[in-house]
Structure 1
Amino acid sequence: MMRSFVSLISLLLLLSFSSSVLSTKKSSFQKLPVPGNRTGPEAFAFDSTGKGFYTGVTGGKILKYLPKKGYVDFAQITNSSKSSLCDGALGTTNVEKCGRPAGIAFNTKTGDLYVADAALGLHVIPRRGGLAKKIADSVGGKPFLFLDGLDVDPTTGVVYFTSFSSTFGPRDVLKAVATKDSTGKFFKYDPSKKVVTVLMEGLSGSAGCAVSSDGSFVLVGQFTKSNIKRYWIKGSKAGTSEDFTNSVSNPDNIKRIGSTGNFWVASVVNSATGPTNPSAVKVSSAGKVLQTIPLKDKFGDTLVSEVNEYKGQLYIGALFGPFAGILKL
C-alpha cells in the first residue's frame, strides 16, 4: 500500500510540474513555487498585518510568504522539521517524525496560529513563530490518527477541527477513501478551558470545516460522500447537525468569505483513473452553489486542497503540488 501511495504522489507531482509549464499568459493567475524540496502548500492563514500569507508544507514546516521577500521559515511542528531528514519529505514520508501541517488558522485577537497536523495532532504557534506547542494528540484516550481541517471561531476564539479517519492514518488515505471509511470526527477545542470535545462522529473523510462569520454554525465536509453538513453552535438548533449541501463533489477545505455569509470550497471530481477537474466552488449560507471556477488548466490533475479569498484574490493550495496559486478575481 505504501509503495502504491508513493507512486501516486510521484505521478501527481509529475503532473503538477507539467502543469507549471503550461501557458500562463493571463496575468490574473500567479504561481508561487514552494522553496527547496518541500511541496504541498495545503492551506492558508492571514495575520492582522494584511501582508502575505502562511502555509504548511511537507516535512512539518510552516512558511510565511511576503510579496517582496518570498517564502521564509516561520515555524516547525517538531525539532526534526528543520533537519535534512525532513527536507524533501514528499507526501507522508517520515510524517511521524517531521509532521505534516494540514488545516491552519489564526485567532486574530491573540495572534496565535493553530495547526491541525495530520499525524501529530493539534498544535499552537505563538505570534513570534518557532517550535509549535502540542495541545492534544488524542481525546478520551483515543488517538486522533489523521487530523485534517481547522478553523477558529472569529467571535469566541474556539477552535474547530476534523479528523479524516479514526481508523486509518495519513499513510493510508487511499485505503480510507477506497473502503468508504466512516470513522471521521469533528472536534472543538476551547482555549479558555483547555479541553477537546467530540462534537460529531461517523463522518466519511471529514476534511475541511469553516465557522460562519457570525459564529452561529460550522460547515463540516465529507470528502468521500460528496456532502457538507452544518453543525449549529447557537440558536434553537445548537448542538445538532443537518445536511447543508450535496452539490459539491469531494469537498476538501472550506473557507468563509469575510462577512458575506458565503464560502469557498475546494472540490475535485474523483474518477476511476484518479482525481480530475479540480475547481473552486462558491456556496451561499443556504447551501446554494453560486459560482464554479474550473482550475484544471492551472493545476492539472493535482488535488486542489483549499480556496481562500483575501482582498480580492483567491489563494489556492494543493495537497501534493509544488506551488501555491493566486487568482485575481
Structure 2
Amino acid sequence: MACIISLTKLINIFPIFIFVSCFPPLMLSQSFRSLQLPPKVTGPESIAFEFGTSRFYVGVADGRILQYNGPRVGFRDFGFTGPNRSKRMCDGTTDPNLGPICGRPLGLAFHYSLNKLYICDAYFGLMVLGSSGKQATQVSAAADGEPYRLCDALDVHQPSGNVIFADSSANYDLRNISKAVNANDSTGRLLMYNPDTDRVTVLMKNLSGPAGVAVSQDGTYVLVSNFINNSTIRYWLRGPGANTYDVINLQERPDNIKRTAFGDFWRAAALVKQPTRSLVPIGQRINGFGRVLRTVNFEAWYGNQLISEVQEFGGELYLGSLSAPFVGVFRF
C-alpha cells in the first residue's frame, strides 16, 4: 500500500486531522478509474462542472482551484483563494498551518447564467471566481457581525443566483476542528447570500458541523448534512413550512450533498464495520424525504479513508476526498 501524509475525516474526529494514511492499491476495474492530480497535490474536496461541458473544477489542499480538461490535458491551474498566496510556499503543501496564507477551498458551485464559480474557503469565507480564474474575490467574511470560522459547503439557487452556504463552527477553524467533535460543537450556521443586495441572511443556527448543502430542484427546500451528529435535515425556504426544518435521515458522518438531474441527491457518508469500528466510505442516493434509494461502497478504492463528495455526471459518479491524490470516477 502506498502511504502519503494526508488530510482525512475520521469517525471520531471532524473533519480533518493530519496523519499518515495508506490507500489500497487502485484495482484495475471496468467500473472505476482515477483522474490523477498534479504531483504532490491532494484533497479534491468538492467538484463543480461547467454548464454544457464535461470540464470540471476542484479545490485542493494547497489552496488552488484546478480545472480538468479531459484525459489528454488533465488538470491545470485555474485560480486560488489566498490573497497573499505564494506558489513556492504553497504549491503541494498539506500543512494546515499554512491554510491562513494558502487558503483551503472546500465547497464549490457554479451560477451558470453568469458563469461564476462560488467557493467556500475554510479561511477566507465565501468567494467567487469569474471565467478568467486567477485570484478569487471575497464576497463575504461575516454575517450578523460574526466572522466565518469554517466556510465548508454551498449550493446556488440558479433562478435567483442566491448562494446557500454553511459555516461549520463559530468556535473552531480547520486546524482545530477535532476539538469540535470532542465538544459536540453545535455552533454551525446555514446562511444565504443575495448577490442583488450583496447581503447575507442567517437561516439557521446551532447546527452540528454542517458539511453539505443542496437546494431542491424547485427551490422550496435545502438539504443540510450535519457531520457531527450524523443527521441530514431539510430546511424549507418557502411554502407553508417556510423557515422550519425536519430531520429526514440519520447516517454516519454525512458530508457533501449534490442534486442529480432527476431531482434526487447523492450524499457522501460512511458505514462503520463492527467490531473494529473501521470506516467504510459510501455514497448514498437519497430523495427529498431522506429515503435511501441506493448505496455504493467505495472501500475497494479508498480503503478506510472517507470520501467527501459524490456527484453524478454523464452516467458516472465523480468522487471527492480530503486526502486522495486523485478524483475517483465510478461507472454504475
TM-score between both structures, scaled by the size of structure 2: 0.91
Structure 2 distance, partners of 1:98, 1:129, is 16
**1:261 to partner: Cα distance:** 2.2
SS at structure 2 position matched to 1:96: helix
Deviation at 1:164, TM superposition (A): 1.5
The Cα of 1:105 is off from its aligned counterpart by 0.1
Rounded Cα–Cα distance in structure 2 between residues aligned with 1:8 and 1:28? 30
Q: Quick one: which of 311, 322, 330 aligns to 1:319? A: 322
1:62 to 61, 65, 69: 65
Unaligned runs of 5+ in 1: none
**Alignment match, 1:286:** 289
* Distance verdict in 2 for CA 1:110–1:275, change over 3 Å: farther
- Alpha-carbon displacement from aligned partner over 1:12-51 (angstroms, at most 9, x marks no partner): 3xx13xx2x2422x12211112113221000000112412
Seen in structure 2, the aligned counterparts of structure 1 residues 160 and 8 have a Cα distance that, compared at 3 Å, is closer
Q: Kindly indicate which of the two structures has a greater share of residues assigned to helix.
A: 1
What is the letter of the counterpart of residue 236 of structure 1? Answer: P
**CA drift at 1:137:** 1.1
Instruction: State the AA in 2 paired with 1:310.
Output: F
- Structure 1 residue 87, shift from structure 2 partner: 1.7
Cα distance in 1 for residues equivalent to 2:308 and 2:202: 24
Q: Deviations over 1:155-186 (max 9, x none)?
A: 22110110121111000121112221111111
Measured at CA, do residues 8 and 124 of structure 1 come closer, stay the same or move farther in structure 2, by a change above 3 Å? closer
Is residue 149 of structure 2 the alignment partner of residue 145 of structure 1? yes
In 2, are the aligned partners of 1:123 and 1:133 still within 8 Å (CA)? yes
Q: 1:66 to 1:273 in 2, by over 3 A?
A: farther
Distance apart, 1:311 and its partner CA: 1.2
CA distance in structure 2 between the aligned counterparts of 1:93 and 1:66, rounded to whole angstroms: 31
Percent of paired sites with the same residue: 37
Query: 8 Å contact 1:61–1:81 — kept in the other structure?
Result: no
Q: Which residue matches 1:121?
A: 125
Secondary structure in 2 matching 1:298: helix
Aligned counterparts of 1:273 and 1:37: Cα–Cα separation in 2: 31
After superposition, residues 1-329 of structure 1 pair within 5 angstroms as 8-12=17-21, 15-16=22-23, 19=24, 21-24=25-28, 26-67=29-70, 68-90=72-94, 92-246=96-250, 248-258=251-261, 260-269=262-271, 276-329=279-332
Cα displacement (A) at 1:154:
2.3
Q: Distance in 2 between matches of 1:140 and 1:322?
A: 38
AA in 1 matched with 2:255: D
More moved, 84-93 vs 67-76: 84-93
Residues 82 and 124 of structure 2 are in contact (CA less than 8 Å); yes or no, is this contact kept in structure 1?
A: no
Distance change (3 Å), C-alpha of 1:52 and 1:244: same
Which is worse superposed, 174-183 or 266-275? 266-275
- Structure 2 spans left out of the alignment, 5+ residues: 1-12
* CA distance in structure 1 between the aligned counterparts of 2:104 and 2:277, rounded to whole angstroms: 23
What TM-score do the two structures reach when normalised by structure 1?
0.92
What amino acid maps onto 2:265 in structure 1?
Answer: F
**Secondary structure of the residue that 1:85 maps to in structure 2?**
helix
**Offset at 1:78?**
2.2
3-state SS of paired residue (2:113): coil
Aligned residue pairs total 318
- One-letter amino acid matched to 1:158: N
Partners of 1:91 and 1:288 in 2: CA distance: 39
SS of 1:94 mapped into structure 2: helix
Contact 1:91/1:320 (8 A) holds in 2: no
Q: Distance in 2 between matches of 1:295 and 1:158?
A: 33
Distance 2:120 2:263 in 1: 24
Provide the secondary structure at the position in 1 that maps to 2:58. strand
**In 2, Cα distance between equivalents of 1:319 and 1:125:** 22
Q: CA deviation at 1:282?
A: 0.6
The answer as to whether partners of 2:165 and 2:191 remain within 8 angstroms in 1 is yes
Deviation larger for 82-91 or 42-51? 82-91
CA-to-aligned-CA distance 1:216-270 (integer Å, 9 cap, x gap) = 1100111111101111112111121111212x22100001011x22100000246
Change (3 A) 1:274 1:77: farther
Paired residue secondary structure (1:220): strand
